[in-house]
Amino acid sequence: MKGFHIATPEQIKAGAVTDVYFQRTAAILDAKGLDAYVRAEFVAKSFPGDWDWALFAGLEEVTHLLEGIDVNVRAIEEGQVFRTLEPVIEIEGGYREFGIYETAVLGLICQASGIATRAARCRVAAGPDRQLISFGARRMHPAIAPMIERAAYLGGCDGVAVVASAELLGTDPVGTIPHALILVMGDTVRATQAFDEVIEKKVPRISLIDTFTDEKFAAIQVAEALGGRLAAVRLDTPSSRRGDFFDILSEVRWELDLRGYEDVGLFVSGGIDEEAIRELKPVVDGFGVGTHISAAPVVDFSMDIVEIDGAHVAKRGKWSGAKQVLRCTGCHEDDLVPLHHAEEWPDRCTECGGDVEPLLTLQMKGGVPSGARLEPGDIRARTLERLAAFGFDKEGSAL
Ligand code: PCP
């Protein structure tokens, strides 16, 4: 029995997680004594669904993967907004140095960027005042739960549910109580009281109220049992039993307020997506989002060689030449994508006269990381500032 069906970090670092044709390419080039000094860029030609922007994530692991390989890397920062046809990474070096890592580099940024983007879209839908928690690790292979929830956190989730993920992020894991506890103890109030007695006081008391009876009555009972110690009630009611979820939540809200429990929040989970967040936001204080974020569609990046031994070369359908992405820090209107070696770039935005900043910056030289290393919380804070700068946090903003 091999154990878990996952690649080890050593296998990934050794380039063993590669499509076999890259290994065969290396063998052919070696047999022919050939190589070339290239610049290769990673670009998404399209986005999933109706996305017209995406959030970049995965660079920290790419840097770890390539550390020690004699290449230079330019990249945009993690948590940066990007658009289609804008390079997010460029690797420069002998093709034989890094060609076999194409599979792994793409794998590290496609999935993470999709998750970060979904989390950012949920963040925008929820607005700044609603709690947004990653609840979806259970939908994916446990080996990558920390990566998944790091991307969800960078994208704007306030917290993550998985202990190992929270350790990676340096945060406290966030949770409530499962149906299993209530079923084993046989009663929602008793399970909530046990939670209150046993669990350390800093953990918010959030009771799950949809196991046995109508949510309204369970909410009142747990509020009366815990009084001011009850932070919120969670409704995770499966859609098959939900009926009009907004009406149920409004009724629970009414009954709690009627009895003086205005401070008891409503927390929802189970099938929550951006649309549900927008619909329920008027009456909900927090969202636990699982599958919608953790099983986000991947961003379809590809790696393309755009310069060989200094000459602009690209395959059919791909624009050759090493590039830069220029963004106005004022209006954030359409980015410019000039040649990296362009003699001069515009330093002022033609739309608003604002400053123009190059997004692709040096992250590695000769296999030695050189970019600033930020903590996840700082990357997340920067992401939220960027989403606001793009106006994505405005009510009904164009996503
Ligand atoms: C699930 C659990 C997850 C939620 C739903 C994620 O409820 O609460 O965190 O759902 P999603 O992937 O559809 O967004 P249950 O399966 O009832 O689990 P539990 O009793 O542990 O809450």
Predicted confidence (pLDDT) per residue in 46-57, tens digit:
999 999 999 999
The confidence band for 398, taking pLDDT boundaries of 50, 70 and 90, is: very low
Distance, C-alpha 106 to centroid of its chain: 15
CA 269 to ligand 1 center in whole angstroms: 6
Residue 344 in this model has a pLDDT that exceeds 80: no
- The CA–CA distances, whole Å, from 20 to 17, 24, 62, 173 equal 9, 6, 20, 39
Closest Cα to atom 13 of ligand 1:
271
Which distant-in-sequence residues (6+ apart) come within 8 Å of 292 by Cβ?
A: 118, 122, 136, 272, 273, 274
The more confident residue out of 350 and 289 is 289
Q: Band of the pLDDT at 84, cuts 50, 70, 90?
A: very high
Does position 332 have pLDDT exceeding 90, yes or no? no
Q: What integer pLDDT is reported at residue 277 of this predicted model?
A: 97
Whether 397 has a pLDDT exceeding 70, the answer reads: no
Distance 163 CA to ligand 1 centre (A): 16
Which among 122, 140, 236, 272 is the best mutation to test ligand 1's pocket, defined by most ligand atoms within 8 Å of the CB? 236
Q: Which atom of ligand 1 lies closest to the CA of 238?
A: 17
pLDDT at 314 over 80: yes
What is the residue with the minimal CA distance to atom 22 of ligand 1?
178
Contact 173, 152 (CB under 8 A): no
pLDDT surpassing 80 at residue 19:
yes
**How deeply is 221 buried, as exposed, middle or buried, from its count of CB atoms within 10 A (0-12, 13-18, 19+)?**
middle
Q: Which atom from ligand 1 is nearest to the alpha carbon of 271?
A: 13
Q: What is the spatial distance between Cα 78 and Cα 109, in angstroms, rounded to a whole number? A: 10
Mutate which of 122, 132, 135, 157 for ligand 1? The one with the most ligand atoms within 8 Å of its CB, which is 135
Helix (H, G, I), strand (E, B) or coil at 54: strand
Q: What's the rounded Cα separation, in Å, for the pair 376 and 59?
A: 12
Mutate to test the pocket of ligand 1, among 269, 277, 293 (most ligand atoms within 8 A of CB): 269
Could you tell me which residues come within 8 angstroms of residue 180 by beta carbon, excluding any fewer than 6 positions away?
Answer: none
Lowest mean pLDDT of 132-136, 350-354, 364-368, 389-393, name the range.
389-393
Atom of ligand 1 nearest to the CA of 176: 22
Alpha-carbon gap, residue 157 to 132, rounded angstroms: 5
Ligand 1, atom nearest to 208 Cα: 22
Q: Quick one: pLDDT at residue 394?
A: 63
Q: Residue of the nearest CA to atom 4 in ligand 1? A: 270
393 pLDDT higher than 70: no
Question: What's 331-357 look like in SS3?
Answer: CCCCCECCECCCCCCCCECCCCCCEEE
- Report DSSP letters for 125-189, one per residue: HH-TTSEEEE--GGGS-GGGHHHHHHHHHHHT-SEES-HHHHHHHTS-------HHHHHHHT-HH
Q: Report the percentage of the chain scoring pLDDT > 90.
A: 88
User: What is the predicted pLDDT for the residue at 389?
Assistant: 87
pLDDT digits (tens, 9 = 90+) for 242-290: 889 999 999 999 999 999 999 999 999 999 999 999 999 999 999 999 9
Taking CA atoms only, the protein residue closest to ligand 1 atom 21 is 178
Q: Token digits for 117?
A: 């983007």
Residues 6+ apart with CB under 8 A from 4: 143
pLDDT at 399: 46
Q: What is the pLDDT of residue 331?
A: 81
- Phi/psi of residue 10, nearest 5 degrees: -65, -40
Q: Which two tokens stand for residue 101?
A: 């890592």
Reading the block at residue 308, the tokens are 């060989």
Q: What is the mean pLDDT of residues 217-246?
A: 92
Q: Express each pLDDT in 354-363 by its tens digit.
A: 889 999 999 9
